[in-house]
Amino acid sequence: MKGPIMRALSGVAAITLAMGAAPLVAQGGPTDADLMNDAKSTGDVLTYGMGPQAHRFSSLNAINSGNVAKMVPAFSASLGGEKQRGQEAQPIVYDGTIYVTGSYSRLFAFDARTGEEKWQYDARLPDGIMPCCDVVNRGAAIYGDKIIFATLDARLVALNRNTGKVIWNKQIADYKEGYSATAAPLIVNGMVITGNSGGEFGVVGAVDARDVNTGELIWHRPVIEGHMGTLKGKDNGITGKLNATWQGDLWKSGGGATWLGGTYDPDTNLLFFGTGNPAPWNSHLRPGDNLYTASTLAIDPATGVIKWHYQTTPHDGWDFDGVNEFIPFDATINGKPMKLGAKADRNGYFFVLDRTNGKFIGAHKFVMQTTWANGFNKNGKPNYIVEGRPPAPGDAKGKPVFASPSFLGGKNWMPMAYSQDTGLFYIPSNDWGMDIWNEPIAYKKGAAYLGAGFTIKSIADDHIGALRAMDPKTGKIMWEYKNKAPLWGGVLTTGGNLVFTGTPEGFLKAFDAKTGQELWKFQTGSGVVGSPVTWEQDGEQYVAVMSGWGGAVPLWGGEVAKSFKDINQGGALWVFKLPK
């Protein structure tokens, strides 16, 4: 257990013109209205997820299934230096500039037409930071004259988007206790909303809202029951009910990190945040459901009050974080129009909920195996397979059991996409398992708090990764593309009947959104674990993605990771278009 964490710690020590429907230049830059309109405006990319609901869908169709085979690079821009590892970011594109975050808490501004670097900001990181799962950063947020991102020492930094100079810099949490931050911030109603990372260190997951102009805290909502929330500096009620699902003082170090960030639904005026694993991994040390870990929470953006919750893995014993993005969508089921939300969970099930109240609609398996549970009952509770839970260890290492998916998940952090044209979700998934066993553990502030060991294993001869198209109404997988290495990057879908995603082997690929036929690929020189985007500029459609292998797989993947040890690290922004 110590090896992967120590390797991570040693590594740490060591565009556009306004072409959308809404005016984009106001008060020095994008406004709240512009951010809410991001899914419809095509001349920019203003939010993580290409819209507050994070559909990652663009109506652009100049590049389409009929001509994508002709797509060529427009330019490539290097992040430079020696810190080339784990480029998981999604670009932001505005007013002729592409903003991307890089590993080790860096932020870059590139000219969207030439690729020339405009400025670079490097956070000054202390030596003692403790990220569990590599030195990645997944993206920035833009608002007015600011570009804002989180850092590995659990800080939130706002820079002037034109110069890269610091406007404000605020602490989210104490990195010495194991906290960090890697997610792209979410901006709603003049507030920048962030979560935290560090679930493997027994931290307490939380969601914060800050004034986007000053960085001052507006509200703070812990996601583990028993902890007090705040609003404008005053107590605002505890989360849940003390000791309802946690025994004794275990809630004080309960985990539940909100490390992936959230989505926002203007229709219901709700924030949706997923929560991570309970701490420690050894479930026998913390009897109960352990709310609100491994859950989706609906939060009032004005007050930070939790309006509803749904727990995808009660009493998690496999590190099945429930942080995966919850994507709002509308559909008609059994003749009834419904406001729904979907989530492809680490535990291998694709969940559909009524997003107005959290009511369970259905859960569909989207991976090869789920040895921990055999489906979900009508009340939304898992049908546990008793022998699938690793047993209590006693005074020494417990008996290993085989579990699938592995703790790296049927889907990990990498965001899926939803096409408004096809009505399908496109899920970057992985088929793998693990031997897992429990071990004795005691909490110590700032130290790894697992109480488990594992060995990840392949379960198929021909693939680990699989891009799957799922119909959320039926749970049917319409097509799949299998990839030898794990898929670890995000997905983009467009009105051109296209789906884009990258592979660790270095390719950005395009598929037919209806059939899954591979139509185009390009070798970027390093593994693609970022999230692609598209926009319109000077009358042409562009596609961009970050390249640079890294993330949790090479750190935690064990024997599986050794199979892909020869993938070169890197750090580059690649931008593509059709030739004139």
Residue 571 lies in a domain: no
Peptide bond into 99 cis (omega under 30): no
Residue 182 lies in a domain: yes
Look at the alpha carbons of 444, 448, 452, 453 in this order and tell me if their dihedral is positive or negative: negative
Residue 486 lies in a domain: yes
Q: What is the pLDDT of residue 321?
A: 95
Edge-to-edge strand ranges of the sheet holding 117-122: 92-94, 97-102, 106-111, 117-122
**461 C-beta neighbours (distance < 10 Å), count:** 5
Q: What is the pLDDT of residue 25?
A: 34
Number of domains in the chain: 1
Residue 569 lies in a domain: no
Catalytically active residues are 319
CA distance 470 to 482: 15
Tokens of residue 335, six digits = 């003749």
Look at the alpha carbons of 200, 202, 207, 211 in this order and tell me if their dihedral is positive or negative: negative
Render 504-559 in DSSP notation, one character per residue.
Answer: TTSEEEEEETTT--EEEEEE-SS---S--EEEEETTEEEEEEEE---SHHHHH-HH
Q: What is the pLDDT of residue 10?
A: 37
CA distance 15 to 93: 4
Q: What is the pLDDT of residue 465?
A: 97
Q: Which residue has the tokens 């849940």?
A: 240
Sheet strands (E) in 67-144: 72-78, 92-94, 97-102, 106-111, 117-122, 141-143
Tokens of residue 390, six digits = 């690793």
Residue 241 lies in a domain: yes
Tokens of residue 38, six digits = 């991001």
CA distance 308 to 339: 15
Tokens of residue 345, six digits = 């969970």
CATH number, residue 135: 2.140.10.10
Q: Does residue 29 contact residue 13 with C-beta atoms inside 8 Å?
A: no
Residue 575 lies in a domain: no
Tokens of residue 502, six digits = 């990258």
- CA 380-385-390 angle, 5° bins: 115
CA distance 22 to 391: 57
Residue 570 lies in a domain: no
Look at the alpha carbons of 291, 296, 301, 307 in this order and tell me if their dihedral is positive or negative: negative
Residue 17 Cα distances to 97, 113, 438, 483, angstroms: 10, 11, 55, 37
Q: Does residue 41 contact residue 34 with C-beta atoms inside 8 Å?
A: yes
Q: What is the pLDDT of residue 7?
A: 35
Closest to 247 measured CA to CA, from 288, 275, 199, 200: 288
In the chain, which stretches have pLDDT less than 50?
A: 1-27
Q: What is the pLDDT of residue 166?
A: 98
417 half-sphere exposure, CB direction, 13 A CA radius: 29
What is the SS3 string spanning 181-225? CCCCCEEECCEEEECCECHHHCCECEEEEEECCCCCEEEEEECCC
**304 C-beta neighbours (distance < 10 Å), count:** 24
520 half-sphere exposure, CB direction, 13 A CA radius: 24
Q: What is the pLDDT of residue 556?
A: 86
Tokens of residue 256, six digits = 């539940």
Domain residues for 461?
A: 2-562
Integer Rg of the chain from CA: 22
Residue 148 lies in a domain: yes
CA distance 179 to 203: 7
